[in-house]
Every structure is written in C-alpha cells, then in structure tokens.
Amino acid sequence: MTTRLDSLKTHSLVVADTGDLDAIKRYRPHDATTNPSLLLKAFDLPGYQALIDEELAAIKAEVADPEARLEQAVDRLAVAKGAEIARHIPGRISTEVAARLSFDEEASVRKAHELVERYDRRGVGRDRVLIKLASTWEGIRAAERLEREGIQCNLTLLFSEAQAQACFDAGVFLVSPFVGRVTDWYKKETGKEYAPDEDPGVLFVRGVCERAGRGGYGTVVMGASFRTVGQVLALAGCPRLTISPALLEELAAEEGEVTPAVTIPAAGERSAPLDEPAFRWGHNQDAMANDKLAEGIRRFDEDQRTLEARLAERLG
C-alpha cells in the first residue's frame, strides 16, 4: 500500500523544511531549505558538531577581526550545511539572506553574491541554489536583479496578494506563501477553529496558485509553514510544498491515496504590474499580512542574533 507521503509526491514536489540531514535522508525530498531558525535548531544535533568545529577553526585561522569572524561564521555554516544537504537531494537548496537586510536592496544583492560564491567554492553551482529573501519591496527588487544575472530566488514571508503579484511581476523563480502563520493570525483574531477547506492559510495559498496560473507566470508556488497534515493535504497539487520532519513522519506513517486539492487554471489575462506605491498600499490594506511580515522578519533576526551569540561563544 502507498503511503500518503509517496502519494503526495505524485502531485507536488516535496521540500524538507529542516536542516536535519538524517530527516532529509529518511524522507527523500526533492529540495531542502536552510535559514537561521533551522540552523539554530540544528546547532545542538550531534551530527552537526564536527562541521561546526571545522568551519570555526578555519575562520579563526583565516580572519583576524572578531566582527568579520562572526558574520562569516553564520554564512559559512549555512553554506557548509547547505552543500552537505545538496549532496543528498536531486533539486535545490534554499539559503537565506539575513533578515536585517530585508529593507536594503543593495546589501541583499551583495550578500546573495557572497553566498553563491561560497557555494561555488564548495562545488555547488548556482543552478542548485535558491537565494531566499523576504518579500519586502526591497527584497523583491533585489530578486529581480539577481534573476537577470541567473541567480534564482525564493521569496519568503509572503502573506498578501500584493506581495505575490509583485513577485510574479519581477519574474522570481519561486515564492513561499505561508499557511500556518496566516491561520494563526485569524484564529487569534476570531477565536475560531477552521476545517482544512475553510482554513484561511490554505485558501490564501490556493489563491496564489490561481493567480500564478491565470496570469501565466513562470514563478513556482511553494506552500510553506504548515501546522497540520490536514493543511498539507488540502494543498496537494500546489507545485511545491515545504514540510517539517514531524509532518513528513505523519504522512510517511499513514497509508492511503492523496487526491489533488489545488487546480491550476489555464492562462488568461494578467493583472497590471504593481509599482511601488500600489504595492505598499495593497499590502497595507491587509492587516494580517502587515502583522505577519513584520513579525516574521523580527523572529528570523532574533534567531540569527541567538545563533551569532552561540557562535561567538564557540569562537572565543
């Protein structure tokens, strides 16, 4: 009998939302992702210690300035971990530009170049890497420039129709509209529980898929930030789904066929491209999206700062 995970893989490309190499080997996703939050979770895993020690020893030997050491430490660990993961997946590894650069287009582009160069030195070409940027106006503009250079991007922390449309307009490779965080906001606001087909996060991601298909955009839609298996199954048929190890385990443990729940419409008429005022106004009109984008950037930055503090201790 087929497991739900194997059946789901026939409808959507599955991406591992983890830096845990053991989980990646176990569930055989197509792609994987790293970010400061996932690196922080992996920091204490026994299998990660040799890699940390190796990278920090190299930084100590090569870099004298303490501030430069710390900045390099996060990037080098992210790329070292990403390169290791890339050897165990057929697809791409997403690696995140620091959240503190979310409103700085030029710095985001520079950091993306640095990350791609680090991957290249480890034998992982840019065709295996996605640069992960927050879906701010500045992050989308940085992605547009990078895409023209052949550096493909994953736009994350996406909560509004305005963000999705601006990403489509910019021709980014992939967008990650969030499910669970959208639902969290509405549950807190309304006090209601939602069945999967009424779930605000699920409905939001289905809407992004429909917008992409209707406009004939080449951007890949990847549902992200799942809280339950029900949410995952309600988005079967979305081109990609990034799923945590806990939910991958549930799906792998259950037998049964998965039926597609997302229908991508045929291409029709495109919406007019958004300029900056229209983007900011459209995003501003969505209270949930405003709250969750700001909160997401803050949370990623907090995790990055915690990771930096842990690394500073190890660097001495």
Residues annotated as catalytic are 132
Secondary structure of residue 155 in the 3-state scheme: strand
Neighbours of 311 (CB within 10 A): 22
The residue to which tokens 């406009």 are assigned: 215
Distance CA 295, CA 298 (A): 5
Q: For the chain, report the end-to-end CA distance as a whole number of angstroms.
A: 53
Angle at 82 (CA atoms; ends 182, 103), nearest 5 degrees: 50
CB 283 within 8 A of CB 162: yes
The 3-state secondary structure of 139-151, one letter per residue: HHHHHHHHHHCCC
CB 58 within 8 A of CB 93: no
